[in-house]
Amino acid sequence: MSTRIIVCGHGTTSHLGRSALASLVNAIRRHAPGCEVVDAFVDVQQPSLADVVAETSGPRVIVPLLLNHDCATARLMNEVAADDPLVRVAPAMGPDWVLAEIGVRRLIEAGAKPSDTIVMVAPQADGSKALADVSKAARLLSAVWGGPVHVGVVDGVGTPVEDALDVARAHSHRVVVSMYALASGEGASAIGRLGADVVTAPLLGAGAPDPRLVSLALERARVLQAPGHVDSAI
């Protein structure tokens, strides 16, 4: 029996964000022949993850569309999986080198230059594990970009984004915000209102999703489809 892939993340009220997420799910579906791929959400949009799991059967892998650890979402996904032995939760999408590579692509598309001061901004970090993930994502982005990257967080623990931007402006260079968000939404909009000289697009921009994001999501699912794999929480 083939494993059903449940692609799950936060919903959004943004039309652009919804379109980008739908495009990603459709691309995953096209590149996963023999597997049924369905989408689900933990909030804002429908269907809910709990409903999708209740209405399906057989082996299922939940692929979290999360760029860093999210305590509430991780707890929800693991609780849903705990009620059915055929449901497992794959690792989150980030942090990962693939996201850093796409982040640099967004910087280049936005016109970022080596002389700019780069600040990677995450919408939220709700605890020490999330902050560690965001910090690692910034280190990966720095390595691919080839220059220093500051870190700011809109909501939660870590350096408040206002402080990160103040430090960046002290360098007397143009400040470019690298948006560490998957798609347009409230978090991404908050980042866009920060007053930086340049703000990049989310990792899921307009048009077809980057093929590397599709491959990353499928790789997360395949980790749990491998024989003898031991599950690990996101």
Q: What is the CATH number of the domain that holds 107?
A: 3.40.50.1400
Domain membership of residue 82 (yes or no) is: yes
Amino acid 230: pLDDT: 37
> Strands of 175-179's sheet, edge to edge?
149-156, 117-125, 175-179, 198-199
Q: What percent of the chain has pLDDT over 90?
A: 78
* pLDDT exceeds cutoff 50 at 98: yes
Please indicate, yes or no, whether residues 38 and 66 belong to a single structural domain of this protein: yes
pLDDT tens-digit map of 115-151: 999 999 999 999 999 999 999 999 999 999 999 999 9
**Do 195 and 112 have their domain in common?**
yes
- In this prediction the pTM is 0.90
- Cis ω for the linkage preceding 202 (within 30 of 0): no
CA angle 182, 138, 42 (to 5 degrees): 30
Tell whether 152 and 60 lie within a shared domain.
no
Q: Which domain covers residue 10, as residue numbers? A: 4-94+207-225
* Residue 34: per-residue pLDDT: 85
pLDDT one-digit tens code per residue, 44-79: 999 999 999 999 999 999 999 999 999 999 999 999
Of 28, 88, 102, 33, the C-alpha closest to 58 is 88
User: pLDDT: is 145 or 1 the higher one?
Assistant: 145
Dist CA 185 CA 97 (whole Å): 23
Q: Average pLDDT over the chain, rounded to whole?
A: 90
